Amino acid sequence: MTGTRRPFPGLRCGKSVAPYISPNLTTGNGMRNVEVFELIIVGGGPAGLCAAMYAGRGMLKAVLLERGVPGGELLNTEWIDDYPGFEHVLGRELAQKMTSHAAAFGADIRQENVEAIVRRDDGMFEVSTTRGTIYLAPAVILTAGGTPTKLGVPGELEYAGRGVSYCAVCDGAFFKGETIAVVGGGDAAVEEAEYLTRYAEKVYVIHRRDEFRASKILQERLFANPKIEVIWNKQVREMTGTPAGLQSLLLEDSLTGELTTLAATGCFVFIGFRPNTGLVKEHFAHDAGGYIVTDDRMMTSIPGLFAAGDLRVQLTRQVTTAVGDATTAAIAVEKYLKDRQTRALGVKVGV
Instruction: Quick: pLDDT tens for 244-293.
Output: 999 999 999 999 999 999 999 999 999 988 899 999 999 999 998 899 99
Active site residue 167: yes
DSSP code per residue over 160-180: BTTTEES-HHHHGGGGTT-EE
164-269: CATH number? 3.50.50.60
Instruction: Give me the catalytic one of 13, 108, 167, 253.
Output: 167
Annotated domain spans of the chain: 23-147+273-344, 164-269
147 band by pLDDT with thresholds 50, 70 and 90 = confident
Q: Are 141 and 98 in contact (CB under 8 A)?
A: no
Instruction: Give me the catalytic one of 82, 121, 122, 170.
Output: 170
Query: What would be the CATH architecture of the domain defined by 23-147+273-344?
Result: 3-Layer(bba) Sandwich (3.50)
Instruction: Give me the catalytic one of 50, 171, 267, 325.
Output: 171
- Element spanning 344, H or E: helix 319-344
* Residue 79 reports pLDDT greater than 90: no
Active site residue 171: yes
305-319 in b/e form (b: 16+ CB < 10 A) is bbbbbbbbebeebbb
Please, what is the average pLDDT of the chain?
89
Domains 23-147+273-344 and 164-269 share a fold: yes
**Tens of pLDDT, residues 318-328:** 899 999 999 99
How many CA atoms, within 13 angstroms, populate the side-chain half-sphere of residue 120? 18
CA angle 171, 114, 95 (to 5 degrees): 45
Q: How far apart are CA 92 and CA 100, in angstroms?
A: 12
